[in-house]
Structure formats: structure tokens, C-alpha cells
């Protein structure tokens, strides 16, 4: 008689059982919590409360309760938090898939609902599985495909994260005690370390509710449970090893075979570090950035000052060693930037205490052509309107004639090809 997926005997892998599911669940409990926290930090780092220019989720309402002024110290802060967010997310993919595989019989179990509590558990499971797939898929698409959905990505990934995490917390509250009990119990029964768990007999003692994980009619084992776990862990390590290099320069970056900003650095010379969007792709021409054509417009307190690049070079110049750290997880190590302090530009239009600033670029279309910086960022002595990098004038792709660089800020706030700066409370 053919069996249907709703029949427990349809699922025959002897690997399924409380031990396998519990181990993967505990790994995800830690990992997804870190993803959620670093994700919220990334959102806070955008200065979303500052201006409608930065905020891509204007309807966040109460979900923005935790927002705070993103600090400028340590200067590698966003490089760390967002590197962890993206690299860890990619590394956890095999664990997530194995976890879903390990519980898939439960999704087909009949009757679909046994009690009110069971109904609630199943709804939370739907949001959990759907939310997990949605967050991992939108995250990977954004990192790998260069903003498949520019403005909307933030909205989708942000709201998706809250739905997913609510389901995740519910699930964790219901399941963590069981998972820990399973692991403790099985360890006591099998002090030698669980190699015998390769056979279904190792799973006789299971917690109530979890017996449906174990196949009633298991096939012959072809691999031990530990072997299967090693396979999942190996997949994670392989992803980690081929991604993590995107947070470093030079030879290490070349190990990041899977990351779009891995591989060799672009070109050679002082400007040979990662480029997000080239001048050409953003429609920036050499004519409009020439010494004759380009002027920086600085506004504030009803004043307007216009400066050529030569005139900017007459102002006090300062240096700062700062990285570019993109929301996509890749970053560079510290580059040497040289230019005019943002707070000195604020002083030009009469601000002794620098306020917020709205920065607009020459770019006419597309995302990231303008960004708002908060007063604490403008006041930092390392926040520059950079004219040089690594001892040479900026290259066109890194923002010539002038670009913003701010310590600890996401790359997206470091506007290139700056045309206008408007100081004032935003």
C-alpha cells in the first residue's frame, strides 16, 4: 500500500530523532539571536530616526523603540557588527536546512490540529519556517545580487525579522526545555558520547511529543548521526571559509570565493580597494567633476558658501584611518583619508557646535545619492570630507572630487561625489 507523507512510516531516515533536532536547535538558538541583534544594530546605524532620507521603513512605529544615536567609536564598529551579521547568516544556512529537514514529518502530521495549544504551536511554526526562509532568502539575495530590491529590501527584511523573531521566541520558549532535557537524558544513557545513536535504538527514551520525530519503520542507517552532524558542520565551515575573507584586504579577500566583494582587489595603486558603485554606473562624468565645473555648496543658518576643490585644499586638512564597511557585509581595512573636517565646514556657515547635516551627491538617480549624518558624527574629529585617499587624490570610483568618511558608520552614509551639504537640525 503506498504511504502518504502524513503517515509517519513514510519518513524512513534513521537519522531523524530528538538528538539530531535538539543539537541543531540549540545551535540556531544562539546563532539566530546574534543575527537578530546585529540586524537591529545595523538598522540603528542608518540614523533612521534622523531624517526621511535615511529611513526606508517610515511606518516602523513602535518597532523603532530601541533606536539610539549610533556612536563613532570604536571606528570599526559597523565593520564588526555587519560582518558578523552577513557572514554568520550565510554560515548558518546548512544548519537551518538540516533543522527543517529533521522536523519535516511533523509538518505533514495528521490531524492538523489536536487542541488549542497545538493549533497555536502550528501557527507559530508556520510563521517560524516561513519567516526563517524569507529572512535568509532576502538576505542572501541582497548580498549576492546587489540590491535586488533597493528601497524595499530594507522594509521586507526589517518587518520580516520582527515576524520571524516573534515566532522564534515563542518556539524557543516551548522547545528549549525539551531540547536540553533530550540532550541531557541521552548523554546520561550513553556516556560514551552517542556514537550508538546512529541506530534508532539509541532514541528509545524520548520526551513526550517528540516520538513522532523517530521513524516507526526506519531504513538501514548509512551514516551515523554524528557523521550527519559533521556533514552539516562541514558545509557551514566551507561557507564560512569562502565568505569571511570579504571583511579583509589583500590575500585574505581572495579566499572569499562566494562573496561578490571577494576575489582580487580592483586594479592597483592607492585607490585599489573595493568599490561599491563605479562613477560610470552612477552617471558621474569627468566634465561635471572637473576643476572648472565642480563646486561644493555648503548651506546653513541662511548662508551659502561655494568652494572649488582648490579652495577646499586651502582649508586645514586632517587625516584619519577608517574602513569602508558595507551593509552587504564586506569591508576594507583602514584606509588613509585626508580632507576637511565636517565640523570645520559647519563653522564656515556659522555653527560653533556642529549640528546634523544632509549630504547630497552629484548623482541624480538611484539609491544612496544622499544621506543624513547626526551631530555626534559631524563633531567627531575623524569625520572628513575626504579629498585624498592613501596619499593620492580620490579616484573617480571612490568619489572624486570629494566624499564623506565617518568613523563606525555604514558605507552607505559615506556619500561619494558630494555636491551639497546642508547643516541644521534634521
Ligand X SMILES: Nc1nc2c(c(=O)[nH]1)N[C@H]1C(S)=C(S)[C@@H](COP(=O)(O)O)O[C@H]1N2
The helix or strand, by DSSP H or E, that contains position 275, with its residue range, turns out to be none
Nearer to ligand X, 14 or 410 (CB): 410
Q: Verify binding: residue 326, Mo ion, rule CB under 5 A.
A: yes
Return the exposure string of 405-414: e unless at least 16 CB atoms fall within 10 Å of the residue's CB, then b: bbbbbbbbbb
Among 13, 236, 414, 422, binds ligand X (CB under 6 A): 414
Specify whether the CB–CB gap between 372 and 356 falls below 8 A: yes
C-alpha R_g of the chain: 26
Distance CA 265, CA 356 (A): 34
Helices and strands in the chain, H and E counts? 9, 10
Please count the residues of this chain forming the interface with ligand X, following the rule CB under 6 A. 18
Shortest Å distance, C-beta 86 to Mo ion: 11
Chain center to CA of 190:
40
Among 415, 421, 422, 426, binds ligand X (CB under 6 A): 415
Nearer to ligand X, 16 or 282 (CB): 282
DSSP 74-110: STTHHHHHHHHHHHHHHHTHHHHHHHHHHHHHHHH-S
Of 13-21, 173-181, 289-297, 409-417: span binding ligand X (CB under 6 A): 409-417
**DSSP β-bridge partners for residue 319:** 338
Shortest Å distance, C-beta 190 to ligand X: 50
**DSSP β-bridge partners for residue 405:** 384
Specify whether the CB–CB gap between 59 and 162 falls below 8 A: no
Shortest Å distance, C-beta 278 to ligand X: 8
Distance CA 227, CA 282 (A): 50
Q: Verify binding: residue 412, Mo ion, rule CB under 5 A.
A: yes
Distance CA 230, CA 133 (A): 23
Distance CA 235, CA 215 (A): 25
DSSP 370-403: EEEE-HHHHHSTT-EEEEEETTEEPPGGGTTT-E
Distances (CA, A) of 359 to 281, 292, 296, 355, 414: 20, 22, 11, 13, 9
Nearer to ligand X, 67 or 412 (CB): 412
Question: Which residue number is nearest to ligand X in terms of Cβ?
Answer: 411
Which residues have CB under 8 Å from 122's CB, separation 6+? 112, 113
Nearer to ligand X, 128 or 409 (CB): 409
Specify whether the CB–CB gap between 309 and 393 falls below 8 A: no
Interaction partner, residue 415 (ligand X, Mo ion, none; CB < 5-8 Å by kind): ligand X
Residue window 231-270: x/- pattern of binding to ligand X, with contact defined by CB under 6 A: ----------------------------------------
Q: Verify binding: residue 275, ligand X, rule CB under 6 A.
A: yes
Q: Verify binding: residue 411, ligand X, rule CB under 6 A.
A: yes
Sheet arrangement for strand 370-373: 303-307, 296-300, 418-423, 357-361, 370-373
Shortest Å distance, C-beta 404 to ligand X: 8
Nearer to ligand X, 7 or 390 (CB): 390
Shortest Å distance, C-beta 361 to ligand X: 4
Please count the residues of this chain forming the interface with Mo ion, following the rule CB under 5 A. 3
Among 17, 200, 262, 411, binds Mo ion (CB under 5 A): 411
- Residue in 220, 27, 12, 167 with CA at minimum distance from that of residue 105: 12
Q: Verify binding: residue 416, ligand X, rule CB under 6 A.
A: yes
Among 87, 276, 383, 422, binds ligand X (CB under 6 A): 276
Shortest Å distance, C-beta 328 to ligand X: 7
Nearer to Mo ion, 34 or 412 (CB): 412
Interaction partner, residue 416 (ligand X, Mo ion, none; CB < 5-8 Å by kind): ligand X
Residue window 361-380: x/- pattern of binding to ligand X, with contact defined by CB under 6 A: x-x----xx-----------
Distance CA 180, CA 263 (A): 42
Interaction partner, residue 363 (ligand X, Mo ion, none; CB < 5-8 Å by kind): ligand X
Interaction partner, residue 330 (ligand X, Mo ion, none; CB < 5-8 Å by kind): none
Distance CA 248, CA 270 (A): 16
Of 227-235, 297-305, 359-367, 405-413: span binding Mo ion (CB under 5 A): 405-413
Residue window 285-324: x/- pattern of binding to ligand X, with contact defined by CB under 6 A: ---------------------------------------x
Residues within the interface to ligand X (CB under 6 A): 274-277, 282, 324, 326, 361, 363, 368-369, 398, 411-412, 414-417
Residues within the interface to Mo ion (CB under 5 A): 326, 411-412
Amino acid at each position: 500500500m503506498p504511504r502518504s507523507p502524513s503517515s509517519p512510516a513514510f519518513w524512513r531516515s534513521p537519522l531523524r530523532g530528538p538528538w539530531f533536532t535538539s543539537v541543531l536547535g540549540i545551535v540556531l538558538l544562539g546563532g539566530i539571536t546574534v543575527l537578530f541583534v546585529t540586524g537591529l544594530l545595523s538598522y540603528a546605524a542608518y540614523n533612521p530616526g534622523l531624517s526621511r532620507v535615511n529611513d526606508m521603513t517610515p511606518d516602523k512605529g513602535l518597532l523603532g523603540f530601541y533606536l539610539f544615536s549610533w556612536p563613532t567609536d570604536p571606528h570599526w564598529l559597523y565593520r564588526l557588527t555587519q560582518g558578523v551579521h552577513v557572514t554568520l547568516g550565510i554560515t548558518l544556512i546548512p544548519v537551518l536546512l538540516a533543522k527543517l529537514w529533521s522536523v519535516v514529518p511533523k509538518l505533514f502530521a495528521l490531524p492538523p490540529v489536536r487542541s488549542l495549544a497545538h493549533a497555536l504551536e502550528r501557527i507559530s511554526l508556520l510563521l517560524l519556517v516561513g519567516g526563517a526562509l524569507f529572512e535568509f532568502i532576502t538576505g542572501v539575495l541582497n548580498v549576492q545580487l546587489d540590491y535586488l530590491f533597493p528601497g524595499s529590501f530594507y522594509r521586507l527584511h526589517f518587518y520580516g525579522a520582527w515576524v520571524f523573531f516573534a515566532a522564534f521566541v515563542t518556539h524557543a520558549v516551548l522547545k528549549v526545555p525539551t531540547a536540553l532535557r533530550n540532550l541531557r537524558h541521552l548523554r546520561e544513557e550513553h556516556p560514551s558520547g552517542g556514537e550508538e545513536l546512529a541506530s534508532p535504538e539509541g532514541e528509545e527514551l524520548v520526551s513526550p511529543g517528540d516520538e513522532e520525530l523517530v521513524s516507526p519503520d526506519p531504513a538501514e542507517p548509512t551514516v551515523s548521526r554524528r557523521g550527519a552532524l559533521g556533514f552539516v558542520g562541514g558545509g557551514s565551515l566551507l561557507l564560512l571559509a569562502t565568505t569571511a575573507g570579504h571583511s579583509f584586504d589583500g590575500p585574505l579577500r581572495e579566499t572569499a570565493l562566494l562573496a561578490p566583494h571577494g576575489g582580487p582587489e580592483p586594479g592597483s595603486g592607492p585607490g585599489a580597494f573595493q568599490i561599491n558603485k563605479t562613477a560610470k554606473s552612477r552617471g558621474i562624468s569627468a566634465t561635471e567633476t572637473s576643476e572648472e565645473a565642480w563646486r561644493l555648496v555648503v548651506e546653513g543658518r541662511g548662508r551659502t558658501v561655494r568652494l572649488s576643490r582648490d579652495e577646499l585644499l586651502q582649508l586645514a586638512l586632517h587625516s584619519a584611518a577608517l574602513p569602508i564597511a558595507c551593509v552587504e557585509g564586506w569591508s576594507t581595512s583602514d584606509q588613509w583619508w585626508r580632507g576637511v573636517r565636517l565640523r570645520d565646514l559647519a563653522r564656515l556657515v556659522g555653527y560653533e557646535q556642529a549640528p546634523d547635516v544632509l549630504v547630497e551627491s552629484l548623482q541624480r538617480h538611484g539609491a544612496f545619492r544622499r544621506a543624513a549624518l547626526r551631530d555626534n558624527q559631524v563633531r567627531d574629529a575623524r569625520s572628513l570630507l575626504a579629498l585624498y585617499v592613501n596619499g593620492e587624490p580620490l579616484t573617480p570610483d571612490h568619489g572624486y572630487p570629494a566624499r564623506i568618511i565617518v568613523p563606525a558608520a555604514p558605507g552607505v552614509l559615506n556619500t561619494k561625489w558630494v555636491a551639497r551639504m546642508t547643516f541644521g537640525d534634521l
